[in-house]
Chain A
């Protein structure tokens, strides 16, 4: 006997006779046995048993009338089940849906069957549960966007013209990888190469706008947009336009040597007018190699006082380092480390031939040792024709050499990694053989850049090259200071072919 609680006598439910058929049953609010209740009352009366849904075979989407096409509904999935239940218009005020599931049908039979269990209150408050089978017929119908694509596959409504007025295409290689990584150009109908840039064509203005906003976030750009009237319906006041976005990327790239205009140099705190551009994302990072000061310019600031590079990476000259004297400790600026040093260098072209040597200050003290090769800008011998330098009118003392990066001996070593590419239309007839070679060397330089700079690799997906076999010879001959990309950073490509079983399940090798 529990202390402190009431004694409740046990109650056993007796049996009554069903009032219709006389079978003994426990009492329920209707006082009829379940079979009598089922035979008299049909709660699914008035519910639809057949329905029709429309399916677009091109883009695998289903129509939700009147105009919406829903994508991503896999067969026998929860979302498809919810969609079909919505199409059935069940009177949920008097019924309660307890369970729903698909019944197997052949995929090509164009029929979907589902079984729904519904509960409803019948006489005197008894709740009856019944299962209800519905058959849905799938009708094939091309959705509006697929019809438009079928009618005219090159039809575009919005175009984005991406331009950068420099003589190389390194930025576009990098942007291509970024776009692939973030899938920003998924909705593009066509991608075409133009001189000094790329054209992206979209079927709706909002897709183009989204793409432009993405580019705005990864590069310092200025853009404008325009529209052109194609047709208009005066009765319903419906206007069809073609939209164009003109996006210009700033001509300043990584490893460019820049002479800042005097106003901008003052505004940035008298940053020495000769600066090196170290990184370009949506802001430009500038580094003064002599004083190791840095500044960041974002797109608005840049385009207020635009300037061009004095010398770009095409004009890099190879130097050999003869002596290095470290002056200051290691400084970390914007994620990278620099060390101020005095160095004695000579041009590789001069090395054996004459005694021309330069003693310079450089920011690469942490990398250079005597006997190393480095690439730098030769201001001693350069012939520049630059508006900004003229503005200084001789007050400026130019350094003779600005070292930019260390150079490594590379043989044509096959790489363990590879990159994917966007499928663009390249106008091959206008390119000559020289242009193609230039393109290839630029691409090779871009790949080398990726190997040397981990911060460039941050936003890019690199894939493991399956054909790569490390050859014994190459590894013993090469020096071991050549930077290579560690294996942990490479992704394995998703390969859905049936023969290749080792890649199934290994979608991402990152830790």
Chain B
């Protein structure tokens, strides 16, 4: 279900929040309205954490994460790091990395299996991403823009990219990410997708300028209409609990994850598995 929301009268909600399948980070605002919307949607399901990174409120663009981990830039203070380690669930690995490109949210766009990164990212950072987030990393550009974290937003079920992406690029990205992709806009024709909205597998939050058409496109590509949060989270929990008895490797979890994805993957882009 997609919700329209504003942070202190600003429609760029992807700048001030970070939403994943396991947790949600929210910036500290003057009034509690922003936080309360997230809380009303997500409180029973995942923890909603209020934080700042490096003293700033633009947390959505500075950090990158999925259900497995969270990467923070070198500007994060120790107190913030500690606060996040305390507030987030234990299975989420919180790691601060030394990287020249410190706006990690603009450079890395990821879901629980695949990540797209800025082509100029360091080799060590790429390895760290693969380790901490547990994803396969691809260096890519979106519609000729190198800031892939800003111009595309994708979850495990679908993705939305910059409107000027050509058909060939869309096919290529879709093959890499293994999710259906659509070129579209958010916030009444804004091309900066990830700054205008934030999304996970069952819910999305968009800026209040988003038109009905854009909202319907978002709901259809991210499959938000029939999504039940609890079932997805329970499935994930079950897979995790199963493996407490045995050493967990990525390849053990792979069939279950693959099955859940297979059920939800339409043939929109013509990519047949």
Residues of A within 8 A of B (CB): 9-14, 16-22, 27, 30-32, 123-124
Residue of B whose beta carbon sits closest to that of A31: B189
Please determine whether B185 and A31 come into contact, CB atoms closer than 8 angstroms. Answer: yes
Interface presence of B164 (CB below 8 A): yes
Determine how close the nearest CB of chain A comes to the CB of B143; give it in whole angstroms: 9
Main secondary structure of the interface of B (DSSP, over half): mixed
Q: Given contacts A16-B185, A123-B189, A124-B189, is CB(A22)–CB(B167) below 8 Å? A: no
| Partner of A19 from B164, B167, B189 at Cβ < 8 Å | B189
Please determine whether A12 and B168 come into contact, CB atoms closer than 8 angstroms. Answer: yes
| Partner of B185 from A11, A13, A19 at Cβ < 8 Å | A19
Q: Given contacts A11-B166, A14-B170, A27-B183, is CB(A20)–CB(B191) below 8 Å? A: no
Stretch at the interface among B1-9, B20-28, B133-141, B210-218: B210-218
Interface presence of B180 (CB below 8 A): no
Please determine whether A14 and B217 come into contact, CB atoms closer than 8 angstroms. Answer: no
Please determine whether B214 and A19 come into contact, CB atoms closer than 8 angstroms. Answer: yes
| Partner of B184 from A11, A12, A17, A123 at Cβ < 8 Å | A17
Q: Apart from A17-B213, A20-B211, list 7 A-B contacts with CB within 8 A.
A: A12-B168, A18-B213, A19-B211, A22-B213, A27-B183, A30-B189, A123-B189
| Partner of B165 from A14, A20, A31, A123 at Cβ < 8 Å | A14
Determine how close the nearest CB of chain B comes to the CB of A33; give it in whole angstroms: 10
Q: Given contacts A19-B189, A22-B213, A30-B189, is CB(A13)–CB(B168) below 8 Å? A: no
Please determine whether A20 and B167 come into contact, CB atoms closer than 8 angstroms. Answer: no
Please determine whether B217 and A17 come into contact, CB atoms closer than 8 angstroms. Answer: yes
Determine how close the nearest CB of chain A comes to the CB of B236; give it in whole angstroms: 32
Residue of B whose beta carbon sits closest to that of A126: B189
Q: Given contacts A21-B213, A31-B189, is CB(A16)–CB(B163) below 8 Å? A: yes
Q: Return the CB mask of B198-231 against A: 1 if under 8 Å, else 0.
A: 0000000000000111101100000000000000
> What number of B residues sit within 8 Å (CB to CB) of A?
21
Residue of A whose beta carbon sits closest to that of B217: A17
What 5 A-B pairs have minimum CB-CB distances, sorted nearest first? A31-B189, A22-B213, A11-B166, A27-B163, A16-B163
> For B213, what are the chain A residues with a Cβ–Cβ distance below 8 Å?
17-22
> For A30, what are the chain B residues with a Cβ–Cβ distance below 8 Å?
189
User: How distant is the Cα of A30 from the Cα of B169 in the complex, in angstroms?
Assistant: 21
> For B191, what are the chain A residues with a Cβ–Cβ distance below 8 Å?
31
Residue of B whose beta carbon sits closest to that of A20: B211
Residue of B whose beta carbon sits closest to that of A124: B189
Interface presence of B83 (CB below 8 A): no
Determine how close the nearest CB of chain B comes to the CB of A13; give it in whole angstroms: 6
Please determine whether A12 and B166 come into contact, CB atoms closer than 8 angstroms. Answer: yes
User: How distant is the Cα of A123 from the Cα of B185 in the complex, in angstroms?
Assistant: 14
User: How distant is the Cα of A32 from the Cα of B190 in the complex, in angstroms?
Assistant: 10
Which residues in chain B, 152-184, are within 8 Å of chain A measured between CB atoms?
163-170, 183-184
User: How distant is the Cα of A31 from the Cα of B214 in the complex, in angstroms?
Assistant: 11
User: How distant is the Cα of A289 from the Cα of B191 in the complex, in angstroms?
Assistant: 99
| Partner of A14 from B183, B185, B214 at Cβ < 8 Å | B183
Interface presence of B188 (CB below 8 A): yes
Determine how close the nearest CB of chain A comes to the CB of B224; give it in whole angstroms: 17
User: How distant is the Cα of A16 from the Cα of B217 in the complex, in angstroms?
Assistant: 10
> For B170, what are the chain A residues with a Cβ–Cβ distance below 8 Å?
14
> For A123, what are the chain B residues with a Cβ–Cβ distance below 8 Å?
189
Determine how close the nearest CB of chain B comes to the CB of A132; give it in whole angstroms: 25
Residue of B whose beta carbon sits closest to that of A16: B163
Most chain A beta carbons < 10 A, residue from B185, B212, B216, B217: B185
User: How distant is the Cα of A22 from the Cα of B191 in the complex, in angstroms?
Assistant: 16
> For A17, what are the chain B residues with a Cβ–Cβ distance below 8 Å?
184, 213-214, 217
Residue of A whose beta carbon sits closest to that of B187: A19
Q: List 17 A-B contacts (CB under 8 A).
A: A11-B166, A11-B169, A12-B167, A13-B164, A13-B167, A16-B183, A17-B213, A19-B213, A19-B214, A20-B213, A22-B212, A22-B216, A27-B163, A27-B164, A31-B163, A31-B189, A32-B189
User: How distant is the Cα of A67 from the Cα of B191 in the complex, in angstroms?
Assistant: 54
> For B185, what are the chain A residues with a Cβ–Cβ distance below 8 Å?
16, 19, 31
| Partner of B168 from A9, A27, A32 at Cβ < 8 Å | A9
> For A32, what are the chain B residues with a Cβ–Cβ distance below 8 Å?
189
> For B167, what are the chain A residues with a Cβ–Cβ distance below 8 Å?
12-14
Q: Given contacts A21-B213, A123-B189, is CB(A16)–CB(B168) below 8 Å? A: no
User: How distant is the Cα of A21 from the Cα of B212 in the complex, in angstroms?
Assistant: 9
Determine how close the nearest CB of chain B comes to the CB of A35; give it in whole angstroms: 14
Please determine whether B216 and A14 come into contact, CB atoms closer than 8 angstroms. Answer: no
User: How distant is the Cα of A20 from the Cα of B163 in the complex, in angstroms?
Assistant: 15
Determine how close the nearest CB of chain A comes to the CB of B11; give it in whole angstroms: 13
Determine how close the nearest CB of chain A comes to the CB of B154; give it in whole angstroms: 17
> For A14, what are the chain B residues with a Cβ–Cβ distance below 8 Å?
165-167, 170, 183
> For B183, what are the chain A residues with a Cβ–Cβ distance below 8 Å?
14, 16, 27
> For B163, what are the chain A residues with a Cβ–Cβ distance below 8 Å?
16, 27, 31
> For B168, what are the chain A residues with a Cβ–Cβ distance below 8 Å?
9-12
Determine how close the nearest CB of chain A comes to the CB of B111; give it in whole angstroms: 22
> For A10, what are the chain B residues with a Cβ–Cβ distance below 8 Å?
168
> For A20, what are the chain B residues with a Cβ–Cβ distance below 8 Å?
188, 211, 213
Residue of A whose beta carbon sits closest to that of B188: A19
